[in-house]
């Protein structure tokens, strides 16, 4: 793990192996942000292509921000667990939190809006789940006791599997 991650690591407990990452962090906006920075570096070290890392970041940031904003709103004591397992073509993700259950015990469908309507008429919210659903698959939600568990799979490419690795700035 790089030494320059000290400020990023506040509140984040990482574990990583060649094909797996486990992060534990408080359900706060700043800890989600720090975890996403760390996750980017860990995915690069796993050989995941940069374009796919962007897709992973988008999906996970949307899901984690929903946890902070909706499931765990109003308390700083909730911990989020993020576990990732890489295969040559997929990143299998599991996110657990002790927050409120999802409405109707299932992930929302997401909002698709007519792109021809004016910007001032766009509805507020609901687009995150549309992005999550369009960029991932095998989405499954369970409420187990007092814990939410969301699993999903994101198609990826990795260096050494297809083509050559792109550089990171």
Q: Is the pLDDT assigned to residue 116 strictly greater than 80?
A: no
Q: Is the pLDDT assigned to residue 73 strictly greater than 70?
A: yes
pLDDT at 102: 94
pLDDT at 115: 59
Q: What class has domain 9-155?
A: alpha beta
Half-sphere exposure of 116 (CA within 13 A, CB side): 0
Q: Is the pLDDT assigned to residue 100 strictly greater than 90?
A: yes
Asked if residues 150 and 141 have their Cβ atoms less than 8 Å apart, the reply is yes
Half-sphere exposure of 55 (CA within 13 A, CB side): 17
- Of 31 and 118, more confident: 31
Structure tokens at 5: 């991650």
Reported confidence tier of residue 125, pLDDT bands at 50, 70, 90: low
């Amino acid at each position: 793990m790089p030494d320059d991650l000290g400020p990023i690591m506040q509140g984040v407990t990482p574990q990583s192996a060649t094909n797996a990452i486990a992060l534990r962090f408080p359900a706060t906006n700043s800890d989600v942000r720090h975890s996403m920075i760390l996750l980017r570096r860990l995915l690069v070290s796993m050989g995941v292509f940069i374009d796919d890392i962007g897709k992973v970041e988008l999906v996970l940031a949307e899901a984690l921000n929903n946890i902070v904003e909706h499931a765990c709103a109003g308390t700083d004591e909730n911990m989020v667990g993020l576990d990732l397992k890489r295969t040559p073509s997929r990143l299998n993700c599991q996110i657990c939190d002790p927050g409120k259950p999802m409405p109707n015990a299932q992930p929302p469908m997401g909002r698709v809006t007519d792109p021809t309507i004016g910007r001032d008429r766009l509805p507020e919210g609901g687009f995150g789940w549309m992005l999550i659903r369009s960029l991932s698959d095998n989405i499954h939600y369970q409420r187990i006791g007092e814990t939410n568990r969301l699993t999903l799979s994101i198609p990826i490419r990795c260096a050494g599997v297809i083509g050559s690795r792109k550089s990171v700035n």
